[in-house]
Amino acid sequence: MEDDRGKGNSAAAPSGAEGVIKFTVGRHTRTDAVPDAEWADLESWRSRLRLRGLVGHDEAAGLGYGNVSVRRAAGGFVITGTQTGRLERLDGHGYVIVDAWDFARNSVDCVGPVLPSSEALSHAAFYAANAAIGAVVHAHSPSLWRRMLDSGDPSTPADVPYGSVALYTRLGEMARDREALVFLVVLAGHEDGVFAAGVSLADACGALFARIDRED
């Protein structure tokens, strides 16, 4: 395995740009592929999300959107790799393990063949705040985003930007304060962005699908 410890990979992005890494990678231990047992169930749910347009790729902008993760019993979480939304199906080469993070430094450590999704630290905020949360989905849905804002659903402030420590802090506060362990959060400062969190992938994705179906 090649270890990129200390290289500090990062990429700048315009404010609010989806699909572009805005954190620093403190350590990237490269592997050929993430083991099947780590991502097989995750891929099953990602496929359903992608079929419904909640995860995918914006051809005009050339950027991916949406991502999904699951907590690992061994620590950390497995998440879709950056810019994988264009791919209909992923295998172990499209997933990565995030095994450590630092919100204050806006950095993650990871193991796998690719870098993590641009929303990796937002996912980490949920897991760090509430040990009962086992899965997180970041979906894009213009119609659901607008309806949730109009309905007064749990929301991050409009002036809290995508990819910021302030966003991770607020998401963590919201996850920590939740009594129900299946819930949706709309990102007022990140157009079309919605998070779903739950004990399992079935819970998180099921809550998201149910909300969309109820209001269509």
| Residues 136-158, mean pLDDT to the nearest whole number | 95
- Per-residue pLDDT at 135: 97
- Per-residue pLDDT at 169: 93
Q: Which residues of 83-119 are buried (b: 16+ CB within 10 A; e: fewer)?
A: bbbebeebebbbbbbbbebebeebbbbbbbbbbbbbb
Summarised one tens digit per residue, pLDDT across range 13-33 is 333 344 455 788 999 999 999
For the range 43-47, what are the long-range contacts, defined as Cβ-Cβ under 8 Å and sequence gap of 24 or more? 43/89, 43/90, 43/91, 43/95, 45/137, 45/201, 45/202, 45/205, 46/80, 46/90, 47/88, 47/89
Question: Which residues are CB-neighbours of 128 under 8 A, at least 6 positions away?
Answer: 101, 103, 172
Summarised one tens digit per residue, pLDDT across range 41-57 is 999 999 999 999 999 98
Residue 171 predicted with pLDDT over 90: yes
Q: How is the chain split into domains, by residue range?
A: 2-215
Confidence of residue 196 (pLDDT cuts 50, 70, 90): very high
Element housing 207 (H / E): helix 201-215
| Residues 171-200, mean pLDDT to the nearest whole number | 91
| Residues 115-129, mean pLDDT to the nearest whole number | 95
Domain 2-215 adopts which CATH fold?
L-fuculose-1-phosphate Aldolase (3.40.225)
Q: Which residue has the higher pLDDT, 2 or 73?
A: 73
Confidence of residue 216 (pLDDT cuts 50, 70, 90): low
Bridge pairing between strands 183-187 and 77-80: unpaired
CA 187 to chain centre: 13
Confidence of residue 85 (pLDDT cuts 50, 70, 90): confident
Written in H, E and C, the secondary structure of 46-73 is HHHHHHCCCCEEECCCCEEECEEEEECC
- Per-residue pLDDT at 198: 96
Q: What is the mean pLDDT of the chain?
A: 88
Prediction pTM value: 0.89
| Residues 73-86, mean pLDDT to the nearest whole number | 94
